[in-house]
Amino acid sequence: MSEKINRVAKTMLERCLGIDKGDDIIVVCDQNRLRIADALAVAADRLEATPTILVLTDEFRKTRAIRKARISKAIENAIRNVDVVVLCVANVQRELEFRRKFIRQIRKSSVRVANLPGITERTFAKIGIAPRIEEIEKIGNDIARILANGKTAFVTSPSGTKIRFELYGWKVPAEISSGYLLQPSTWGNLPGAEVYVAPKAWSANGVIAIDVTIDQDHRMRNVIIFEIRNGRVVAGSIESRDKKAASFLRRALKKRNGDALCEFGIGLNSRIKKATGITLIDEKMLHTAHFALGDNVEFGGEIESNVHYDMIFSKPSVWIDEKQIMKDGVFTYSEKDLLNSYRYFEGKVTDETIIETTPWSWCIRMNGGLAHLWRGGTGRMHAFILGDKETSEAAEKIWTALSHGGSSVAQIAKRTRINLEKVKKVIDFMIFQHVLDIRMDRKGELRGLSKKSEFDENIELLS
């Protein structure tokens, strides 16, 4: 067992999974990854945690228990009583349903799960698991926010990608895979990091060209190009001199919804210097993006399939609502593209407009301002400060000043003692961020109130 593997194992458990003294950890591996499992178990032991290794043998993987995705009561009970599970198995598409059910069981408990499908000793030893979490969270939050506020995306690449699709916005927000799994009931792939989102089903039209890696851990020798029409691959459009890649793709299309475009992602990991041929790793590489075909239910989409087929390409250029945020793999967005200040808004609401929180908004005070929280498909909570410092501080005061039944703009200005015109602009900003909404049906009721009751400061406020 090499010292490099041991160091990576310790880094992964300590930094990315927050293993602590007394934690229980299960490492699930197959026969080809026993040395990696041993390294993880030894590292856990040195951190004074209690490791267990569960081996899926080649013969057991052929059983109906795996093919039919049956999870035994013994496994369910074991999961409920541990702190961390690490999955170290081959990336086999036919086992996707088993892994998905396994993860669903995990999410019913407080366990944290790291998934490393297809990892090899060579790759495990060479790779830095994740960049600094602060770096990933900053860029990840920026991109996720742009995707959540956007309605359409347009993506191109030098190899021939040229495709347009719609986004769900805040109804299905982007997921940030940071490479850090420190909260209970969360799971994710290691290494990190990426931002990914489910495109609106059946909305994509254009051409995709893949030149890095295609699922089944195949490093592309030649570009593979195919057409997407109304969200599905046009089977007869596949063109490539890489016969193996074309064969992989054609087999995937035969599965139920295996031809459906289900994911768009952007790699953020600057510590992955070149493609490895391992899909799990290459999709995180900085200056790349990826699409996937098949299932996206686990991260908020509406397409069900028993396959999930990732495809990575280099030097993407990306436009969200016609604003370019990436050019040839380099981020080009600005503060204005983030609409990160109330100064970019006009304040179109009137004094009497009734404002209330949106049903899905969840905010907390953070660093003296207001932060917007959302739960991603992996169960992990994400947070970003609402705007720049001045905007965030004003947003926090407005959020606090809202009554449970809604408040008028004039009421909010009086309670917060913020200039009325500024309040209007900040409220416009918060509506754009889907934290607040306009409740038009209260206008008549408001006009009928006396001035004293209209500006009653004893209304119960939101915490």
Condensed to tens digits (0 to 9), the pLDDT of residues 10-45 reads 989 998 899 999 999 999 898 889 999 999 999 999
Per-residue pLDDT at 453 exceeds 60: no
Hey, what are 214's tokens?
């295609």
pLDDT at res. 463: 28
pLDDT at res. 454: 35
For the chain, report the end-to-end CA distance as a whole number of angstroms: 53
Domain 3-126, CATH: 3.40.1830.10
The residues of the chain that CATH labels 3.40.1830.10 are: 3-126
More confident residue, 137 or 226: 226
Mean per-residue pLDDT over the chain, rounded = 86
Per-residue pLDDT at 168 exceeds 70: yes
Q: Find the angle CA(105)-CA(108)-CA(111) to the nearest 5 degrees.
A: 85
pLDDT at res. 93: 61
Alpha-carbon span 372 to 385, nearest angstrom:
6
Q: Which residues of 71-88 are buried (b: 16+ CB within 10 A; e: fewer)?
A: eeeebeebbeebbbbbbb
Q: In this structure, which amino acid lies at residue 161? A: T
3-state helix/strand/coil string of the chain: CCHHHHHHHHHHHHHHCCCCCCCEEEEEEEHHHHHHHHHHHHHHHHCCCEEEEEEECCCHHHCHHHHCCCCCHHHHHHHHCCCEEEEECCCCHHHHHHHHHHHHHHHCCCCEEEECCCCCHHHHHHCCCCCCHHHHHHHHHHHHHHHHHCCEEEEECCCCCEEEEEECHHHCCCEEECCCCCCCCCEEECCCCEEEECECCCCCEEEEEECCEECCCEECCCCEEEEEECCEECHHHCECCCHHHHHHHHHHHCCCCCCEEEEEEEECECCCCCCCCCHHHHCCECCEEEEEEECCHHHCCCCCCCCEEEEEEECCEEEECCEEEEECCEECCCHHHHCCCHHHCCCCCCCCCEEEECCCCCEEEECCEEEEEEECCCCCEEEEECCCHHHHHHHHHHHHHCECCCEEHHHHHHHHCCCHHHHHHHHHHHHHCCCEEECHHHHHHHHCCCHHHHCCCCCCECC
Strand duo 323-327 + 330-331: pairing: antiparallel
Alpha-carbon span 256 to 250, nearest angstrom:
13
- Residue 44 half-sphere exposure toward CB, CA atoms < 13 A: 23
Per-residue pLDDT at 440 exceeds 80: no
Q: What is the CA radius of gyration of the chain?
A: 24
Per-residue pLDDT at 245 exceeds 50: yes
Confidence category of residue 1, pLDDT binned at 50, 70, 90:
low
Per-residue pLDDT at 427 exceeds 70: yes
Condensed to tens digits (0 to 9), the pLDDT of residues 336-364 reads 888 889 999 999 999 999 999 887 678 98
Condensed to tens digits (0 to 9), the pLDDT of residues 280-303 reads 889 999 999 999 999 998 888 999
pTM: 0.82
pLDDT at res. 107: 66
Cis peptide before 191 (omega within 30 of 0): yes
Per-residue pLDDT at 116 exceeds 80: yes
pLDDT at res. 146: 92
Confidence category of residue 57, pLDDT binned at 50, 70, 90:
confident
pLDDT at res. 261: 98
Confidence category of residue 458, pLDDT binned at 50, 70, 90:
very low
Per-residue pLDDT at 442 exceeds 60: no
User: What average pLDDT does the segment 440-461 reach?
Assistant: 37
User: What average pLDDT does the segment 207-230 reach?
Assistant: 94
Range among 96-105, 202-211, 294-303, 377-386 with highest mean pLDDT value = 202-211
